Structure 1
Amino acid sequence: MAREEFPGWHGTTIIGVRKGGEVVVAGDGQVSLGQTVIKGTARKVRRLSPGGYDVVAGFAGSTADAFALLERLEAKLEATPGQLQRASVELAKDWRTDKYLQKLEAMLIVTDGTELFVITGAGDVLEPEHGIAAIGSGGNYALAAARGMIDSDRDAEAVAREAMAIASDICVYTNGNLTVERISKEQ
């Protein structure tokens, strides 16, 4: 079956919210193939600890591709300990120029508790406005919901959880089975 004819792996929603000295990354658990839910409990948010330096990463897109990117990010973090921005830029450069990596279909949200970035295959390392990043099929719904709540008295986790609940009510490729990781620089 040609790639363009294959129904494709669809959806996910990942959100990163920075507020009150911490960052929370939350992701849903749904994996879909076309119009069929294949799995409802996938873990798309992971904690990486290269050399004792904690980073939380969430991914949207192909799982195998995302794992390949996470492995490369870990290697970059080991080479540049404590420098998430530099490691992210190096990964994005490789992703854009390496013939193997160019074929990978995924996006990442990464944070060390201070910095929050979206890394794309187009070579982008984006620091989101308002301390909120969201990716995946339900990303825009979660982003809008979180933006509406960010100035409330809710903490980062409450904002992320409620934004994900709203996204899962709207996006058919997103469910309410969340993986949530919290990280702060004070760890």
Structure 2
Amino acid sequence: MSEHSNDPTGWHGTTIVTVRKGNKVVVAGDGQVSLGQTVIKHNAKKVRRLGDGRVVGGFAGATADAFTLFERLEAKLEQYPDQLMRACVELAKDWRTDRYLRRLEAMMIVANATDSLVLTGTGDVLSPDHGVIGIGSGGNYALAAARALMDTDYDAEEIARRSMAIAADICVYTNNQVVVETIETA
């Protein structure tokens, strides 16, 4: 599922988008897994609740690598309960300094009632300016669509679903088998 521009037979694609609006934060992801030009799975679950269920995460990249990162993040959340930012910063430190973790090819979006964050293997822990984050091969399409829809009357979930539909129409590595997880923020 990671994107290797020089490897036409490599795993490609995914789209994950997070929208924070009103009293909700939503993380949505498509279900397509591709190997080269072949779709080998249509309904992969790339979005899931973490820890005690108050954090939702979505991943783009190599599946085994993402599951390793989810496990590490859950351990950090146990170590730093109710401190998503701190848990993510500690994970990012490990990700950059641990020889094994440095080789992992994935990105994550995580969100709770107060924070939405992107975690990368370069040590980044980033919060969006406009309440919207997109990652993966169709991430920029979903991000642009969500930002354009933020000024409408749609709630966070409807914006996420419409953004994912737009990304699926544009990105060949994204499908319309969407998993959505929502957290109430107020």
Note the C-alpha offset of 1:90. Answer: 0.5
Match of 1:47 in 2: 49
Aligned residue-pair number = 182
Match of 1:31 in 2: 33
What amino acid sits opposite 2:159 in the alignment? Answer: V
CA distance in 2, matches of 1:111, 1:6: 33
Confirm or deny: 8 A CA contact 2:95 2:121 kept in the other structure.
yes
Match of 1:64 in 2: 64
Note the C-alpha offset of 1:72. Answer: 0.2
CA distance in 2, matches of 1:53, 1:112: 9
Match of 1:146 in 2: 146
Question: Identity of counterpart residues, as a percentage?
Answer: 67
The 3-state SS of whatever aligns with 2:99 is coil
What amino acid sits opposite 1:98 in the alignment? Answer: D
Match of 2:105 in 1: 105
Q: Does residue 133 of structure 2 align to residue 165 of structure 1?
A: no
Match of 1:183 in 2: 183
The 3-state SS of whatever aligns with 2:173 is coil
The 3-state SS of whatever aligns with 1:56 is strand
Confirm or deny: 8 A CA contact 2:25 2:185 kept in the other structure.
no
Match of 2:174 in 1: 174
CA distance in 1, matches of 2:8, 2:170: 25
Note the C-alpha offset of 1:6. Answer: 6.7
Note the C-alpha offset of 1:166. Answer: 0.2
Structure 2: tracts of 5 or more residues without a match: none
The 3-state SS of whatever aligns with 2:130 is helix
